[in-house]
């Protein structure tokens, strides 16, 4: 029983800090989204695209890729920090001068929902619209997109 008391005290403090507040939930969700940046590769794709548009096309793959990896490392470190400190204020995004707070996509891509029965309202007629594979980086194939 003596070993359970410190654990219960920590759990009670965590519940006290996080109960009924939207701030810790938003901070933890933003941290998880930022931590998984390398699986999404949004920052790398955007950096390659922006380098090709604003600098020169021959620099886009090398320089844009390296810039994207650096920005992805920044975003991943910021996500790890936000996950570790999510019960404690401040709950607003940090380092917004260097890293934009939201998820980053290339300017030529507008993310949408996957084509599943959960999201489609016309699932009973046998076809519906939506993205076919939004989880694959660079996939822009859509079905019945207006």
Residue-wise pLDDT for 49-63, tens only, equals: 889 888 888 878 899
- Tell which residue, 109, 104, 102, 107, has the closest CA to residue 138: 109
The full DSSP string for the chain is -TTHHHHHHHHHHHHHHHTT-HHHHHHHHHHHHHHTHHHH-HHHHHHHHHHHHHT-GGGHHHHHHHHHHHHHHHHHHHHHHHHHTTTSS--S-S-TTTS-SS----TT-----B--TTT-TTGGGT---EES-TTSTT---EES--
pLDDT at 81: 92
11: confidence class by pLDDT, cuts 50, 70, 90: confident
Asked if 3 contacts 10 with a C-beta cutoff of 8 angstroms, the reply is: no
Whether the full predicted model's pTM is greater than 0.85, yes or no, is no
Could you tell me the sign of the dihedral formed by the alpha carbons of 76, 78, 81, 83, in that order? negative
Encode pLDDT of 64-123 as tens digits. Answer: 999 999 999 999 999 999 999 988 888 888 888 888 888 888 887 777 766 665 666 655
pLDDT at 66: 93
């Amino acid at each position: 029983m003596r070993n359970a008391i410190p654990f219960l005290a920590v759990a009670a403090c965590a519940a006290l800090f996080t109960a009924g507040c939207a701030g810790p939930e938003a901070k933890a969700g933003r941290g998880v989204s930022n931590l998984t940046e390398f699986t999404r590769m949004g920052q790398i794709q955007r950096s390659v695209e922006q380098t090709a548009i604003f600098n020169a096309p021959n620099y886009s793959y090398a320089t844009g890729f390296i810039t994207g990896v650096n920005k992805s490392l920044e975003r991943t470190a910021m996500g790890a920090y936000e996950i570790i400190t999510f019960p404690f204020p401040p709950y607003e995004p940090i380092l917004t001068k260097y890293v934009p707070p939201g998820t980053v996509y290339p300017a030529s891509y507008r993310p949408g929902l996957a084509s599943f029965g959960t999201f489609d309202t016309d699932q009973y007629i046998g076809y519906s619209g939506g993205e076919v594979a939004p989880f694959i980086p660079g996939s822009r194939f859509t079905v019945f997109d207006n």
